[in-house]
């Protein structure tokens, strides 16, 4: 199957990054968001990122214009009828995702593949709400999408070999390294990463050390490029909590219990960099 047109549903940090990366790879991309203002904001973020690359000499102005010309904003989800692949990148919420996939199943032609950028939720459960479970797959990009090379490719129980091969080839054309993993809560990336972040939050909660000290230990002692608490702020503490809850409920082991301090911060609206405050302060940034 030849892929020419892609819709990205969800224009936040991940969705805009996926749209940019797909357009840079030569695909025509429709960027959709339930909130038109979010879609426009995502598009402006793409332009800003590309223009910065041109200023630093990593792209020519002509290349930037060509990439931007391949991205259009979709005012309605119904435009998914023109897509060969739809990549969902909305909030990490099963109810919201299954509602979207049901709608896409009705809108899209029979050949369209439906991929989820979920970072922890079961692909099999998402696929089950459609009449095309063989065409549903997980395509988990890493943040920031234009920079990070990994894409976890997750088959659901009914995902066909053809779908898996097509999505693997798509990831490669987008300049990524696809790695196939099985459909378990958190897959590999977040099953390993989030418990580490959660344990770092417990270190803060129990008074073992201050945030900067915890992060310095992991950066200087374990050669991590970013400390776990700073990374949690960049991921979003609400997203971290959602993934930990999926791990805890899906695997049934108390070692995945979210730290109470994480819950407290999320309830306070301290979501990390996007809200201006998490484990660190980020100036006068407004909530998004």
Strand partners, 178: 151
103-137 pLDDT per residue, tens:
999 999 999 999 999 999 999 999 999 999 999 99
Indicate whether 171 belongs to any domain: yes
Determine the Cα–Cα distance for residues 43 and 50; give it in Å rounded to an integer: 11
Same domain, 159 and 18: yes
Residue in 74, 116, 117, 119 annotated catalytic? 119
> Is 286's pLDDT higher than 90?
no
Among 74, 117, 152, 198, the one annotated catalytic: 152
The answer to whether residues 170 and 84 belong to one domain is: yes
Nearest Cα neighbor of 84 from 115, 46, 118 is: 115
Domain count within the chain: 2
pLDDT digits (tens, 9 = 90+) for 177-226: 999 999 999 999 999 999 999 999 999 999 999 999 999 999 999 999 99
162 an active-site residue? no
**How many CB atoms within 10 Å of residue 76?**
8
Question: Do 217 and 254 sit in the same domain of this protein?
Answer: yes
For residues 264-280, average pLDDT? 97
The mean of the pLDDT values for the chain is: 96
Residue 280 covered by a domain: no
Please, how many CA atoms are within 13 Å of residue 49, restricted to the half-sphere of its CB? 20
Does residue 287 form part of some domain?
no
Final residue before a domain boundary, out of 131, 146, 181: 181
Catalytic residue of the set 16, 116, 117, 190: 190
- Domain assignment of residue 202, yes or no: yes
* 140 belongs to the catalytic site: yes
Q: Are 130 and 20 in a shared domain?
A: yes
Q: Is position 286 within any domain? A: no
Q: Which residue carries 């997980």 as its tokens?
A: 138
What is the CATH classification number for the domain harbouring 214? 1.10.1040.10
For 50-71, what is the mean pLDDT? 96
Examine the fold and report which residue of 181, 205, 240 is the final residue of a domain before the chain moves on.
181
At 91, which CATH number?
Answer: 3.40.50.720
Q: Give the integer Cα–Cα distance in Å for 213 and 206.
A: 14
Same domain, 68 and 171: yes
End-of-domain residue from the set 181, 204, 227: 181
Measured distance CA(140)–CA(200) in Å, rounded: 24
Structural domain includes residue 149:
yes
Query: Is the pLDDT at 55 greater than 50, yes or no?
Result: yes
Is 174 found in the same domain as 221? no
Residue 249 designated active-site: no
Please report whether residue 282 resides in a domain.
no
Alpha-carbon distance values, 73 to 109, 116, 259 (Å): 20, 19, 39
Among 135, 140, 198, 275, the one annotated catalytic? 140
Q: Between β-strands 150-155 and 136-141, what pairing exists: parallel, antiparallel or unpaired? A: antiparallel
Residues 169 and 232 grouped into a single domain:
no
Judgement on whether residues 9 and 129 belong to the same structural domain of the protein: yes
The pLDDT assigned to 287 comes to 40
Q: Confirm whether 284 is domain-assigned.
A: no
Whether residue 55 lies in the annotated active site:
no
Q: Is there a single domain that holds both residue 168 and residue 214?
A: no
Domain, as residue range, for 85? 5-181
Domain check: are 52 and 95 in the same one? yes
Tell whether 176 and 197 lie within a shared domain: no
Residues 169 and 205 in one domain: no
138-155 tens-digit pLDDT: 999 999 999 999 999 999
């Amino acid at each position: 199957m030849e892929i020419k047109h892609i819709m990205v549903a969800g224009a936040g940090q991940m969705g805009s990054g996926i749209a940019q990366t797909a357009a840079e790879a030569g695909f025509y991309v429709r960027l959709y968001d339930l909130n038109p203002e979010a879609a426009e904001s995502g598009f402006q973020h793409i332009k800003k990122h590309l223009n910065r690359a041109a200023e630093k000499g990593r792209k020519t102005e002509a290349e930037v214009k060509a990439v931007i010309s391949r991205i259009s904003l979709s005012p309605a989800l119904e435009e998914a009828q023109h897509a060969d692949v739809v990549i969902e990148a909305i909030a990490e919420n099963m109810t919201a995702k299954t509602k979207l996939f049901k709608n896409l199943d009705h809108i899209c032609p029979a050949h369209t593949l439906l991929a989820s950028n979920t970072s922890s939720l079961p692909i099999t459960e998402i696929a089950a709400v459609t009449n095309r479970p063989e065409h549903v797959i997980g395509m988990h990009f890493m943040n920031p999408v234009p920079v990070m090379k990994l894409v976890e490719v997750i088959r659901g129980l009914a995902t066909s070999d053809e779908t898996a091969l097509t999505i693997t080839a798509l990831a490669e054309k987008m300049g990524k390294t696809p790695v196939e993993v099985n459909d378990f809560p958190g897959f590999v990336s977040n099953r390993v990463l989030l418990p580490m972040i959660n344990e770092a939050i417990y270190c803060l909660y129990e008074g073992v050390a201050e945030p900067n000290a915890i992060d310095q230990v992991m950066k200087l002692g374990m050669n991590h490029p970013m400390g776990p608490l700073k990374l949690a702020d960049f991921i979003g503490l609400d997203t971290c909590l959602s993934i930990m809850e999926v791990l805890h409920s899906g695997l049934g082991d108390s070692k995945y219990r979210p730290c109470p301090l994480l819950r407290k911060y999320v309830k306070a609206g301290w979501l990390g960099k996007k809200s201006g405050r998490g484990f660190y302060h980020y100036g006068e940034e407004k909530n998004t």
